[in-house]
Amino acid sequence: MTLHSLTQQLDIVYSGRDFEVLAINTLVDAKKDEISFLDNKKYIDALKETSAGAVFIKEEFVSILPDGVEAIVCENPYLSMAYASRFFAKALIRESGESHIASTAIIQKHVYLGSGVSIGENVTILSGAYIGDDVSIGEGSTIYPNVTVYNDSKIGRNCTIHAGSVIGSDGFGYAHTHDGKHIKIYHNGAVLIEDDVEIGANSAIDRAVFGITLIKEGSKIDNLVQIGHNCEIGSHVIIVSQVGISGSSKLGRNVVMGGQSATAGHLEIGDFATIAARGGVTKSIKGGEVYSGFPLIKHKDWLRLQAKITKFFKIN
């Protein structure tokens, strides 16, 4: 839709340049035919460099916009973006075109295959699985019973997804009105799972708001794990059961997360870091170390702390 039409739908006063808007995207990734938003001052540098055609923005930041980027001035840019996202939501049921299913693929009865799917050589899909529109599954992968793969998800070669897991469901994303209503942010991104990834039973990997949620090659994910929207899980990561990873977290190569550990969102964990069971990561941390506890500290310091607490209470 055109930018003028969109702003009218949102009851925003706008009289700038009009153009056809193709999508909403981040400040970093947006192109000239896309719109973006600024909600947090920490993204000011990204605003200065954005190539978006227009940005939802507060009046105080308009002067920072690059030349040629239109200002959509509003009181709450994040909320405006949420309202706008529904206009760009993809169709739930599509006619995407011809599917390509390799002759060596084994697909049991009671499997649903959407339109435009691509199933590689020697793929096995067991009974009860749901494979949505425009999904691709690479050579040698195995999809166990009752797995749900939402539209647009991409699964690499030699992957294993165990029973009951959900790939590509909407992330938990809402903007909030002044009177406490929660406005859904439509998730128009996807999930990309690279080669040699294994995902345990009843785990959930959310699609991105924009772009992709990425699981890199060789990573192993246990049962009952939640990975939020726009996360990036590095190569050969180990994630143990009941871990929760909040949206836009980035895990480096060979990170290990012990059972019931978790992260806050929008942080980074460095390569070869280990988070012990029930560790709570609330800010970005360096790699190559073992961490424990909540608030998170280095494991050796956590052990000393526990020893002192034990002595203090004279616990045998």
Give, in degrees to the nearest 5, the angle at Cα 254 between 249 and 257. 60
Distance CA(186)–CA(207), nearest Å, equals: 10
Point out the catalytic residue in the list 229, 236, 266, 299: 229
By the 8 A CB rule, do 17 and 91 touch? no
Active site residue 229: yes
Residues carrying an active site annotation = 229
